[in-house]
Chains A and B, each alone.
Chain A
Amino acid sequence: MSKGSSNHAKLEVTNKLLDLQWKMGMAVSSDNCRSLKSPYVALMLKVADQSGQITNKSFEMTIPQFQHFFKQLKEMAAVIETV
């Protein structure tokens, strides 16, 4: 049984999320633009693969991207409760 936003059911090799760290930064200035003033959220995920090997994966999101990401996870939680 599958419920969610994905259209396809694959048998993926999944990783386990061990830890999540976050920071919020602000891009102030760049060589293209003296005044960027662009806030962003950076996440660092510590994941373990099927063999137990641990790696760090990180990525950045703009504020609207983060809000969408957060919303998706909240939806996930709502679904997981009802299953």
Chain B
Amino acid sequence: MQRVQSRFRPAGGAGTSPAFSAAIAFSWREAEQSVAMAGELESSKPLSGLLNGLAQSTFHRHSGITEELLRTQLYPDVPPEEFRPFLAKMRGILKVKKQNYNERLWDFTGDIHSIAYADMDFNQLEAFLTAQTKKQGGITADQAVVISKFWKNHKTKIKESLINQSRWENSLKAMNWRVDLKSQSKHFEQINVPVAIVELELGKNGQESECLCLEFDEIKLSQILKKLTEVEESINTLTNPA
């Protein structure tokens, strides 16, 4: 295991939180084992929280999670000018776009393929994180463990968010329906015809939805179902290629 220089330096000796000290200490090989054992739970909490915060802010588009919030809540003893590069490093590893269009923090250098962008499976993830621990200014072994755990827990949700963000057409937000009996009079006779009334709420990301209200009778409905059966067959062909 190579020695990894952590850029994370405490502002001062006094008043440093135990979690933070542990986070620093285990970057030095000599203290690694004992601190890892003693401080594992403690030291992993802030980083877990940080990764969560990053995910909320960018994958799930939760506004209000600022750099300052993350720092004061999770790493209160670290001054902003030192927190910033650490945050950037973690962002780069997740490949998270900063909300401000002008400030792209992802890293194009070398062969960094970050985790969310590449949608890594777990073998790829292990290899990637191991490589990161060996780099100058990379991450520590314990940080790698936290990141790995985080990705395993959040991968599906993040993927869903990414898919959602790339949907730019209308999507079906909601659907309501009922069946009514419509009274029609024909040649002095009252005929009751059942009709389906369907409300489709269609909308795009971040825009107000439109409500499309449709009415169809039994014949129309069976025509629709026939077409949708074709769709279903197509889906089955995709998932079970012959």
Contacts and interface: CB of A to CB of B under 8 A. Distances in A.
A-B complex is real: yes
Interface of A: 1-6, 9, 12-17, 20, 22, 24, 27, 30, 32-36, 38-42, 45, 47, 57-63, 65-67, 69-70, 72-74, 76-77, 79-81, 83
A41 to B, nearest CB: 6
B169 A60 contact: yes
Contacts of B176: 4-6
Contacts, number: 155
Contacts of A14: 197, 213-215
- In the complex, the 4 A-B pairs of residues with the closest C-beta atoms, listed nearest first: A4-B178, A14-B215, A59-B170, A83-B194
Interface string B164-208: 011101111001111111000000000000111111101000000
B218 interface: yes
A80 B235 contact: no
Nearest to B223: A20
Given A14-B197, A33-B117, A58 B232 contact: no
Bin the interface of chain B by size: 35 or more
Contact of B227 (A9, A22, A65, A69): A22
Given A17-B216, A36-B166, A6 B171 contact: no
A36 B163 CA distance: 7
A1 B175 contact: no
A80 B194 contact: yes
B3 to A, nearest CB: 33
Nearest to A62: B163
A73 B225 contact: yes
Contacts of B227: 20, 22
A27 B163 contact: yes
A44 to B, nearest CB: 11
A32 B167 CA distance: 12
Given A17-B214, A58-B169, A6 B178 contact: yes
Given A4-B177, A24-B238, A36-B166, A15 B119 contact: no
A45 B215 CA distance: 13
B231 interface: yes
B230 interface: yes
B234 interface: yes
B38 interface: no
Nearest to A37: B119
B69 interface: no
Contacts of B214: 14-17, 45, 47
Nearest to B217: A80
